[in-house]
A and B are shown apart, each in its own frame.
Chain A
Amino acid sequence: MSRRPLQYRKDQGDSTNGSSTSSGIRGPNSALTEFLRQQGINAEEIRQRHLRRLAGEDEETEIVNVDHSEISSNNIHEDSTQPDQDAEFDAEELEIRIASRRKRRAAKDNADEYTDSESENDINSTDRIKKKKIVGDEVSCVQCSKTFVVSVYSRQDQLNDGYYCADCTRVQQENDRAIKRNQMISRKKRQKLAVALLDRQDVKISSLQDLSIKKITEKIEDVDEFGDIGTINMKKIAKILCRNRSLNDSTLNLFLNPLLEKLEFWDCSKLSKGSYDKICSYAPNIEKLTLLMCGKFHNDNLKYFSNNLNRLTHLEVDGPFLINNESWQTFFISKGKMLKSFKVSNTHRFSDETLEIMLKNVDPQIFECLKLSRLDGIKNKDSYDLLPMYLTNLKELEISYPNHEDSVDDTMLINLTSINGATLNTLVLDGCSALTDEFLINGLKPFCSNLRKLSLQFLDQITDEGFTGLFHGWNINLGLNEVFLKKCFSLGDSGIIEMLLHSNSTLVELSLNSIKDLTSLAFQILSCNNLIYLDIGFIRSVDDEVLELIQKKCNQLKLIDCYGNNRCTSKAQIREGLKVIGRQSDTV
């Protein structure tokens, strides 16, 4: 194919030359001939190519060779004597025919090969024996030296170039089968282990509770009532149903009872408008309500909630995009005073004004938990700046992925932490990428004495300087439990080392994912006795040696994520009870 344009130009030149030298008179042309000439395809070229190919193929069977040579000699003859259009056409057609024949033969060869390779495993391979042509001969067995007559079923021994007698053949066959079976078993085992590893589970026998729960969730449509199965099992069933997407209007009823105080549903996408009202009427004493992916949660539902759920203090909703601003506002005006926790994420219908009304209506003394995540309706920076004016007693705060990164800035957070610092234990600021070192040093350091969880994912302006400034001599804080620093690209060794020196003994979960400049130096400092989960994906310096070092120093560690580290291989010695996920060698 790549040769074609070149040919085209050359042949064009030729043809123009040809036309200038020759008389320029041609006979009637077919459209195909015209087309071929335009494309620069001519018989001579094809013939040459064909001859070249023939020369390369020694393994042609005789008949075909004769066939070919006959045809090609004819061709040569014709071509050389009379470069006719007909010949051109013939040659082309011939070429096609030969090519297709070759293709057919190749396919046949392949098929033969395929069966060969199959019968290689098959012990009763008759082909090979036939080739040797000694069926019926009397030979001695390579194994037991007994003399016997070779049959088509006798097994050939490739190494010693002999045959097995009938008895030895049978033994060999059984051995082969055993080997095959073992291979299958170990393959299955590897597969199962790899699958379990990805699910972060141990391969162990499941408890009778889990078995029953599995059975129940399979037949959930037939269940009328749960009975006294315990809240933990209830929660497990709810989780499994949500994961299977089988939480719907009829299965919802099973979870509702008048004594219920806490309800968590992770996938409400199949609940209809009427079902949300049912939560109110069947479980009116609910205090903590979590509804995730509640796309059908309607204005009327929220209204009904605010009128009927008199004890509601914690509300978490994800994806409530049917609720408009008016409904939110009436909800906050009527229920705001009671709210202790309000978490909302993934809706565009939560505007600046709504946030302001919410802040004005909650009781700052009891309101302690706020989550505003992926709210594209909050567009003004001023709205976020209002937070420190109304909230004084926060324990948990999450502001993540705002509509515009500049909406959340250092000054606001410094204000906020100066007021709430003493109570604040969880701070999540993922994706607020306008934040800089300043808020670490002037906000967190002087005020946040009780902070335990800090998540700063995607904050690319946080640098070593900020981290060193924060953690060096941060004596009022006794240590963080959870630190998530995924994709804080500007961090490096010195900042992380300072953080580790401060929180080494308290860390339980740590993510350093994609902090690409970390070197093995940082991991030498990492020795956390309480660390259970560690994410060190996409860090170039992480290799087998580092993995071994880490697992030696962190004796509680249960899970390491190391996706994207090509130098982590199966050679690393991993102790029992620790799972390492994301190595290339762990594929199913």
Chain B
Amino acid sequence: MSNEYITLISSDNHHFIISKPAAFVSNTLKNALNLNFKESETNIIKLNENSLVLNKICEYFYYNLKYKDQEIDVPEFEIPTEMALELLVASDYFDC
């Protein structure tokens, strides 16, 4: 279990447990996990994002994973208007 899944911890201490391939959608997480950091041993990453945004980010990871090879009929990824800017800042950080 510990090898397959990554735990992301938000600033308000919510834990998001996602699969490794999902986490690898983000280049930032990919780099953190592939290099010799503490994160790559423990598979736990503390992040400075609030749980709402991190939730959406994780949602996108799985959305990307599911639809990246599909060419048509990809449903639109829903982004709440009020979250768009926060999400842009976060996605800039996650590089995804």
Chain B residues with Cβ below 8 Å from A228 are: 89
Question: What's the least CB distance linking B54 to chain A, in Å?
Answer: 12
Is A478 in contact with chain B by the CB < 8 A criterion? no
CB within 8 Å for A212 and B68 given contacts A207-B96, A228-B89, A233-B92: no
Is B81 in contact with chain A by the CB < 8 A criterion? yes
Question: What's the least CB distance linking B52 to chain A, in Å?
Answer: 14
Q: Given A208-B91, A212-B88, A213-B88, 9 more contacts at CB 8 Å?
A: A185-B72, A192-B72, A193-B71, A205-B64, A208-B64, A212-B85, A222-B81, A223-B85, A226-B85
Q: Is the CB of A215 within 8 A of B71?
A: no
Q: Is the CB of A203 within 8 A of B91?
A: no
Closest B residue to A205 by CB, please name it: B68
A-B contact count (CB 8 A): 60
Chain B residues with Cβ below 8 Å from A233 are: 88, 92
Chain B residues with Cβ below 8 Å from A203 are: 71
Considering only residues 145-203 of chain A, those with a C-beta below 8 Å from chain B are 185, 188-189, 192-193, 203
Is B67 in contact with chain A by the CB < 8 A criterion? yes
Q: How far is the CA of A215 from the CA of B80 in the complex (A)?
A: 9
Q: Pull 8 A–B residue pairs with CB atoms less than 8 Å apart, ordered by A.
A: A188-B72, A188-B73, A192-B72, A208-B91, A213-B88, A216-B88, A227-B89, A228-B89
Is A16 in contact with chain B by the CB < 8 A criterion? no
Closest A residue to B65 by CB, please name it: A205
CB within 8 Å for A216 and B85 given contacts A203-B71, A207-B91, A208-B60: yes
Q: Which 4 A-B pairs have the closest CB atoms?
A: A208-B91, A212-B88, A215-B84, A209-B91
Is A204 in contact with chain B by the CB < 8 A criterion? yes
Considering only residues 52-94 of chain B, those with a C-beta below 8 Å from chain A are 57, 60, 64, 67-68, 71-74, 77, 79, 81, 84-85, 87-89, 91-92, 94
Q: Which residues of B contact A (CB under 8 A)?
A: 57, 60, 64, 67-68, 71-74, 77, 79, 81, 84-85, 87-89, 91-92, 94, 96
Is A131 in contact with chain B by the CB < 8 A criterion? no
Closest B residue to A217 by CB, please name it: B84
Chain B residues with Cβ below 8 Å from A222 are: 81
CB within 8 Å for A209 and B79 given contacts A189-B71, A192-B72, A216-B85: no
Q: Is the CB of A212 within 8 A of B71?
A: no
Chain A residues with Cβ below 8 Å from B88 are: 209, 212-213, 216, 229, 233
Chain A residues with Cβ below 8 Å from B91 are: 207-209, 212
Is A219 in contact with chain B by the CB < 8 A criterion? yes
Question: What's the least CB distance linking A246 to chain B, in Å?
Answer: 15
Chain B residues with Cβ below 8 Å from A259 are: none
Chain B residues with Cβ below 8 Å from A188 are: 72-73
Interface residues as binary, A496-529 with B (CB distance below 8 Å gives 1, 0 otherwise): 0000000000000000000000000000000000
Question: What's the least CB distance linking A197 to chain B, in Å?
Answer: 13
Q: Is the CB of A215 within 8 A of B81?
A: yes
CB within 8 Å for A211 and B89 given contacts A192-B72, A205-B74: no
Q: How far is the CA of A223 from the CA of B94 in the complex (A)?
A: 23
Q: Is the CB of B72 within 8 A of A208?
A: no
Q: How far is the CA of A525 from the CA of B68 in the complex (A)?
A: 39
Chain A residues with Cβ below 8 Å from B92 are: 209, 229-230, 233
Interface size of A as a range? 20 to 34
Q: Is the CB of B96 within 8 A of A209?
A: yes
Chain A residues with Cβ below 8 Å from B64 are: 205, 208
Chain A residues with Cβ below 8 Å from B77 are: 208, 211
Q: How far is the CA of A185 from the CA of B70 in the complex (A)?
A: 12
Q: How far is the CA of A80 from the CA of B10 in the complex (A)?
A: 104
Q: How far is the CA of A213 from the CA of B72 in the complex (A)?
A: 22
Chain A residues with Cβ below 8 Å from B84 are: 212, 215-216, 219
Chain A residues with Cβ below 8 Å from B87 are: 208, 212
Question: What's the least CB distance linking B68 to chain A, in Å?
Answer: 5
Chain A residues with Cβ below 8 Å from B79 are: 211-212, 215
Q: Is the CB of A229 within 8 A of B72?
A: no
Q: How far is the CA of A228 from the CA of B92 in the complex (A)?
A: 10
Closest A residue to B74 by CB, please name it: A205
Q: Is the CB of B72 within 8 A of A189?
A: yes
Question: What's the least CB distance linking A418 to chain B, in Å?
Answer: 49
Q: How far is the CA of A233 from the CA of B94 in the complex (A)?
A: 14
Question: What's the least CB distance linking B77 to chain A, in Å?
Answer: 5
Chain B residues with Cβ below 8 Å from A216 are: 84-85, 88
B89's contact among A207, A219, A229, by CB below 8 Å, is which? A229
Q: Is the CB of B96 within 8 A of A208?
A: yes
Chain B residues with Cβ below 8 Å from A192 are: 71-72
Q: How far is the CA of A192 from the CA of B91 in the complex (A)?
A: 27
Chain A residues with Cβ below 8 Å from B74 are: 205
Q: How far is the CA of A233 from the CA of B73 in the complex (A)?
A: 27
